[in-house]
Amino acid sequence: MGRHSCCLKQKLRKGLWSPDEDEKLFNHIIRFGVGCWSSVPKLAGLQRCGKSCRLRWLNYLRPDLKRGSFTQEEEDLIIGLHELLGNRWSQIAAHLPGRTDNEIKNFWNSSLKKKLKQRGIDPTTHKPLTHVETAQSNHNSKDSIHDNILIEPFFDPFCAVGLQAAADQAGANLNLQEPFHNSFITASSFFQYGSLMNGTENYPYGDSSSNSSSWTCNMGAELQRLVGNEALNWNSERKMEPSFGAQHSPEDFTACFDDFI
DNA sequence: AAAGTACTCAACCGCGGAGTG
DNA sequence: TCACTCCGCGGTTGAGTACTT
């Protein structure tokens, strides 16, 4: 097995993506879709391997990404799903529209694990820690001052995403996320939401005024509904569909894209 | 103000599974 | 069945930034 063959080639760039590279990749996928990831770098004129392009697209450039800090509802959902699914980040992400597995994984490792320890809960087993472990955890941990800091997008190909982040920051119930999604779905049918959206479109997302505690009270039943047989039948696991399908025309996307800029 | 420490998050790495010839 | 390629996932790393001393 070993290293991916595309990474063995010389002169491939690594590290952070430049805005120019982002633009090339974004424009290429707008026009032609993904197709074969291994051919994307060459066709897009990038000195990157296909894996790198895929990761950049999925974690940053995808227009359906939700930006900004995690809401209390999302936080509760992640904790509940983690209890059921463990470190299956892609499956957890499938239940959080607009969030990536990488984003959730980072959030879990940097913030949620500590929060659970502070509450006396073992983040691995979700069971109460021993008194010694709890005391140790409380002694070593501090409240993260970043918990309420909004992550501002640097390069946001869709300004609506930034608007949603602003709404989140202000705590206003502007619910920009929904029209954002609906426009993509109804105006162009461009995205293949597949399992990502099925069964999740009725979430109380975007309703920042909703009562967090009451939502949490219903979380057990909600999780059962969401996860359903997945938690019990690992053989039936679903995978996220690619965001782009070859059947969509560039014009569809461009028209849709223009609505948002 | 400077140095040290802690934290975040984008990106990479390595592995396993699926598909194909 | 085997060899190979490609894709996707989870774990890990390291640069940049924020915070503390």
List of A residues 41-80 with CB within 7 A of strand B: 48, 51-52, 55-56, 59-60
Q: Is residue A69 a contact partner of residue A149, using CB atoms and an 8 Å limit?
A: yes
Asked whether residue A184 is domain-assigned, the answer is no
CA of A55 to C1' of B11 (A): 8
Instruction: Please tell me whether residue A191 adopts helix, strand or coil conformation.
Output: strand
Averaged pLDDT for residues A166-189? 33
Residue A175 resides in a domain: no
**pLDDT tens track for A131-157:** 555 555 444 443 333 333 333 333 444
Percent of chain A whose pLDDT exceeds 70: 45
Specify whether A49 is located in the same domain as A85: no
> What's residue A226's pLDDT?
52
> Residue A99: which CATH number?
1.10.10.60
Residues 68-107/A with CB within 7 Å of nucleic chain C are 87-91, 101-102, 105-106
- Same domain, yes or no: A25 and A57: yes
Whether A46 and A83 map to the same domain: the answer is no
Domain membership flag for residue A219 = no
Closest CA to A148 of A28, A215, A68: A68
A78 and A112, same domain (yes or no): yes
Q: Decide if A169 is inside a domain.
A: no
Domain of A114 in residue numbering reads as 72-119
Cβ A208 vs Cβ A173: under 8 Å: yes
Give mean pLDDT, residues A200-209. 31
Residue keyed to tokens 């995808």: A62
- CB proximity A183–strand C (7 Å threshold): no
Using a 7 Å CB cutoff, list residues 113-152 of A near strand B: 141-142, 144, 146-147, 151
Does a structural domain hold residue A45? yes
- Indicate the burial class of A89 (C-beta count within 10 angstroms; 0-12, 13-18, 19 or more): buried
Residue A234 lies in a domain: no
Can you give the pTM of this predicted structure? 0.64
A112 close to A123: Cβ distance less than 8 angstroms? yes
> Is there a domain that residue A13 lies in?
no
Position A88 pLDDT exceeds 80:
yes
How many domains does one find in chain A?
2
Does the residue A99 lie in any domain? yes
